[in-house]
Amino acid sequence: MAAPLDLNLLKTFVAVVETGSLSNAAPRVGRSQSAVSMQMQRLEDMVGNQLLVRGPRTVTPNAIGEDFLIYARRLLKLSDEAWASVTRPKETGSVRLGVPDDYAAFLLPPVLSRFAEDHPLVTVELVCEQSTALVKTLAEGRLDLAIVTRLPEQPLDVVRLERFVWVASPNHVAWQTNPLPVALFEPGCAARMNVLQALGSADRSYRCTYSSASLLGLVAVVQAGLAVAGLAQRSVPPSLRVVGVNEGLPALPDLEIGILRNPLSATPAVERLNDFLRRDLAQRA
């Protein structure tokens, strides 16, 4: 009968694959690079097959390793669920979380992934709307938490500053057109207000060529060379380029991000996600 697999070895194996190297995996699992290397050698000896292709700078799974990765992740997830079922029986249920489209694209994936590792029995239901709509939805009791961009004069505990930049098509020079063609999020959005305030302060004439709550629609218009737009820097897709002062555009103020909570939502699941989001968003570089 085969010996049972060591979950610590599986955890390190998954970390190596996901980070692409032994050195990157080391801090993630709390071990030295040499210890990670020894663990991987031990795992390969245990299963009787090579699982990794070790290059000069990167480490990637071979065909057997790719198949093994599926089972490793499944076993680790089952272990987390089993542990949670006996150690955190109250941390179950669902949390209704509101977030703007662009933040959902770049802020949430790594945050929710880490939260799920620690709280596998909690379900997060996402609602994507612009910040002003989220404030209303939360006030109506249809959300537990909302990640929003602070509006002028809005009382909000800011947990993160996000750089706000101009973007344009790499194949067009829309910023050279006068008046400046600008694609904007819909009225009431903090990003829209920041763009218009910057243009007004710089006395730069402009015309709105597109207005929508859709991030994908905004990107499509800019990519076609029909306008420039303001986006959170982390949400800029590879198809666009960042422009700014060198192209004659005024500097844009940072976006102030905070978390709103429904005072009637007091379940352990809401408590954990609220604390996790505040801590994680504040610490992320």
Q: Residue by residue, what is the 3-state secondary structure of the chain?
A: CCCCCCHHHHHHHHHHHHHCCHHHHHHHHCCCHHHHHHHHHHHHHHHCCCCEEECCCCEEECHHHHHHHHHHHHHHHHHHHHHHHHHCCCCCEEEEEEECHHHHHHCHHHHHHHHHHHCCCEEEEEEECCHHHHHHHHHCCCCCEEEEECCCCCCCCEEEEECEEEEECCCCCHHHCCCEEEEEECCCCHHHHHHHHHHHHCCCCEEEEEEECCHHHHHHHHHCCCCEEEEEHHHCCCCCEEECHHHCCCCCCCEEEEEEECCCCCCHHHHHHHHHHHHHHHHCC
Mean pLDDT by 10 residues, the chain (285 residues): 84 93 90 93 93 91 94 91 72 88 82 84 90 90 93 84 94 94 89 93 94 87 95 90 94 92 90 89 71
Task: Based on the fold, state whether residues 211 and 136 are members of the same structural domain.
Answer: no
Q: What is the pLDDT of residue 56?
A: 86
Domains: count for the chain: 3
Residues 168 and 145 occupy one common structural domain: no
156: in domain = no
The answer to whether residue 145 sits within a structural domain is yes
Do residues 77 and 103 both lie within one domain?
no
In a domain? residue 248: yes
Q: Which domain holds residue 105?
A: 93-151+259-283
Are residue 204 and residue 229 in the same domain, yes or no? Answer: yes
190, 237: one domain = yes
> Where is the domain boundary, 37, 70, 87?
87
User: Do 267 and 200 share a structural domain?
Assistant: no
| Same domain (yes/no): 51, 100 | no
Q: In terms of domains, do 18 and 147 share one?
A: no
Question: What is the model's pLDDT at position 224?
Answer: 94
Question: What CATH number corresponds to the domain at position 74?
Answer: 1.10.10.10
Question: Does residue 158 fall inside a structural domain?
Answer: no
The CATH number of residue 187's host domain is 3.40.190.10
| Residue 165 near residue 236 (C-beta atoms within 8 A) | yes
What pLDDT sits at residue 225?
A: 94
Is 180 a member of any domain? yes
**Same domain (yes/no): 144, 269:** yes
Q: Return d(Cα 243, Cα 27) in angstroms, integer.
A: 35
**13/134 same-domain check:** no
What is the reported pLDDT for 110?
82
Predicted pLDDT at 284:
64
Q: Look at residue 159 and tell me if it is in a domain.
A: no
Angle between helices 22-29 and 33-47 (to 10 degrees): 100
- 2: in domain: no
| Judgement on whether residues 78 and 131 belong to the same structural domain of the protein | no
**Domain contains 62:** yes
| Residues 133 and 100 placed together within one structural domain of the fold | yes
